[in-house]
Amino acid sequence: MILPRGSATPREVTAGLDTVAVRYPAHPATRELLTALQEPLAGPSANRFGRISPTDAQAVLEELEGKIPLILDGGECSTGIESTVISLASTTPTILRPGAISATEISQAIGCNVVTLNCSLNEKTPAISPGSLASHYAPRTPLYISNRPIEYFDPPYQYILFTSKNSTPLTHVRILAQEGKPEVAAQNLYRTLRECDSLGAPAILVDPIPDSPLAPALRDRITRASSGTAEWRNGGWIFTARKKN
């Protein structure tokens, strides 16, 4: 939740803004840590700036080994993608980053309308929320979103499909959700990106994400991780770079 910053909150934890982001974690290990501290805990994400978010302790170690003194291992993340961010600092509650909890669910819980801000993918727009930068969650390997369901699998590239298809080859392909469940796709997204990124392919191609309550969050993360779009044309893949405003 984004809330107005009070005088007790130091500016060092608000990026100089007049608001502060506050979360109450569900994980019992984190709650136990906060109870032991008896203080609010300020901290960034456990990944390097702009890189793929970690979803287990091993991924944190790969990102930050030698830069942090210890890791509190609470097991694999249950949802797999970052939390919904909602601003309560204005008259109308506004979602700044889509996550597993939808606008509809929040609206039902708090009894009023909730809107979703269409955060522009503009490199020059100041970040108003965690994860709202135009380029974020990105692998080092260029990632492109196919403009239609992928049917052709040129071997040099790695492919990420939402679910398996009759023609899916056994190599060069990763499946986000074997049975097409969006919550499974969310759990697998970042781990799959890391696997593909480690293989040295010239590019990663991603299937379009089908509609579901989790689709806005999944599409948001993949778009911010992408270098542009891909189209199969005349027997090969054509890549179009994402425009940077």
Mean pLDDT on 171-199: 93
**Phi, psi dihedrals of residue 59, rounded to the nearest 5°:** -65, -35
List the one residue out of 221, 182, 229 whose CA is nearest residue 205: 229
- Asked if residue 125 is part of any domain, the answer here is no
Question: Which has the higher per-residue pLDDT, 42 or 237?
Answer: 237
Residue 127, in any domain of the structure: no
Same domain, 82 and 160: no
* 180 shares a domain with 106: no
Residues 177 and 236 in one domain: yes
Whether residue 7 is found in the same domain as residue 109: yes
Question: Do 154 and 104 sit in the same domain of this protein?
Answer: no
Cβ neighbours for 5, distance < 8 A, ≥ 6 positions apart: 11, 14, 17, 18, 19, 20
Residues 237 and 147 in one domain: yes
- β-sheet with 173-175: strand ranges across: 173-175, 158-161, 204-206, 143-146, 228-233, 236-241
Specify whether 29 is located in the same domain as 89: yes
Residues 147 and 110 in one domain: no
Lowest mean pLDDT among 18-27, 43-52, 137-146: 43-52
pLDDT digits (tens, 9 = 90+) for 97-130: 999 998 899 999 999 999 988 755 544 444 556 5
Residue 73 falls inside a structural domain: no
Comparing 223 with 169, the larger pLDDT belongs to: 223
Q: Which domain holds residue 210?
A: 143-241
Say yes or no: 111 and 172 in one domain: no
For 74-86, what is each residue's pLDDT tens digit?
999 889 998 899 9
147 found inside a domain: yes
**Residues of the chain with pLDDT > 90: what percent?**
57
Say how many C-beta atoms besides its own lie within 10 A of residue 214's C-beta: 22
**Residues 160, 205: contact at Cβ < 8 Å?**
yes
Average pLDDT across the chain, whole number: 87
Number of domains in the chain: 2
Residue 185 in this model has a pLDDT that exceeds 60: yes
Residues 147 and 109 in one domain: no
Give the CATH number, domain containing residue 202. Answer: 3.40.50
The per-residue pLDDT for 45 is 80
Per the model's pLDDT, the better-predicted residue between 132 and 74 turns out to be 74
pLDDT computed for residue 134 by the predictor:
55
38 has pLDDT over 60:
yes
Q: Between 168 and 110, where is the model more confident?
A: 110
Q: Are residues 176 and 221 in the same domain?
A: yes
CA atoms within 13 A on the CB side of 158: 20
